[in-house]
Amino acid sequence: MIRSHFGVIAIAAMVGVTSCGEDKKVQAPASFTIAIGSVAPLTGGIAHLGKDNENGARLAVEEANAAKIRIGGKEAVFQFLAEDDQEDAKVGNTVAQKLVDAKVAGVVGHLNSGTSIPASNIYSGANIPMITGSATNPELTERGLKGVFRVVGRDDQQGPAVANYLIANAKPKVVAIIDDATAYGKGLANEVEKTLKAAGVIVLAREQGTNKTVDWKAVLTKLKGRSPDAVFYGGMDSTAGPLLKQGRELGVKAVFSFGDGACTDKMGEFAGSGADGLLCSQAG
């Protein structure tokens, strides 16, 4: 937050210096514009989460404009620029460069770790601060890039927490782990697996899908034959819901558990009655 404010003030200072060098007969403008970018998946399976992020950032900009903030004696008018990264790293990099070219003062986003990590290289290289409220993979902030921030817990905190809760409450002897092969899903699943194994829990060979997988029957049929006491899935609600629903339809009796990507109010819609009794964590 502080770094984002610093970026806004620095741009305002440059505007002030430019104004001082102009003909004194020309009256300086009473206000100046500061562009704020927002990036999230606004289309696709988790567009509902992306829109939540966009709406939150848009509200903050509207409130800032209503407060009529003044910097250097001039009113700062905040302009909101929203972009859709489609939960895709290549698209994320494209829109990140688009915002850099638009000379934004800072960026709110991205939503996913898999888009935030590569895009952060672009923002940091352009000296534009970014702050994410949902990207939990530790790599995002472990590389020491300038101006890269998050206001949410990391997977190396969330993973052990959900694993220990599962151990304490479900007391599983055998656990199956599935992930969606993304920086978030795989990274969180790895942390859960490490904690389970350290506690002496047997973890079956990893199963994997993608962030687009909605047909899990083959994976679930395979797991059913191994009779796990619990299943952990690293991924988002749009794929977690079908996994849980199909698991119950196939008669998998295990306790299903998830991370924050699937700890949403949409799980009831995606999983139906199968959502009853699920365990999930929220990154603080």
What is the structure's pLDDT at 27? 61
Q: Tell me the average pLDDT across 40-45.
A: 97
* Residues 127 and 187 placed together within one structural domain of the fold: no
Say yes or no: 23 and 47 in one domain.
yes
Residue 128's pLDDT band (cuts 50, 70, 90):
very high
Residues 174 and 207 in one domain: yes
Residue 58 sits in which domain range?
A: 2-150
Q: Are residues 159 and 53 in the same domain?
A: no
State pTM to two decimals.
0.86
273, 227: one domain? yes
Per DSSP, the three-state class of 224 is: helix
| Average of per-residue pLDDT across 10-25 | 40
Antiparallel, parallel or unpaired: β 74-84 and 70-71: antiparallel
The DSSP string of 180-214 is -SSHHHHHHHHHHHHHHHHTT-EEPPPEE--TT--
- Total domain count for the chain? 2
Do 71 and 165 share a domain, yes or no? no
* Same-domain pairing of 140 and 162: no
Assigned token pair, 231: 């299943």
Decide which of 150, 167, 184 is a domain's last residue.
Answer: 150
**Among the listed residues 186, 182, 96, 190, the one whose alpha carbon sits nearest the alpha carbon of residue 145:** 96
122 and 209 in a single domain? The answer is no
CATH number assigned to the domain comprising residue 28: 3.40.50.2300
159 with 142, same domain: the answer is no
167 and 135 within one domain: no
Tell me which of 150, 185, 210 is where a domain ends.
150
pLDDT bin (cut points 50, 70, 90) of residue 243 is very high
pLDDT of residue 284: 73
Neighbouring-strand partners of residue 37: 81, 107
Report pLDDT for 25: 52
Q: Please return the burial class of 117, using the count of CB atoms within 10 Å of its CB with bins 0-12, 13-18 and 19+.
A: buried
Residues 95 and 193 in one domain: no
Same-domain pairing of 137 and 195 = no
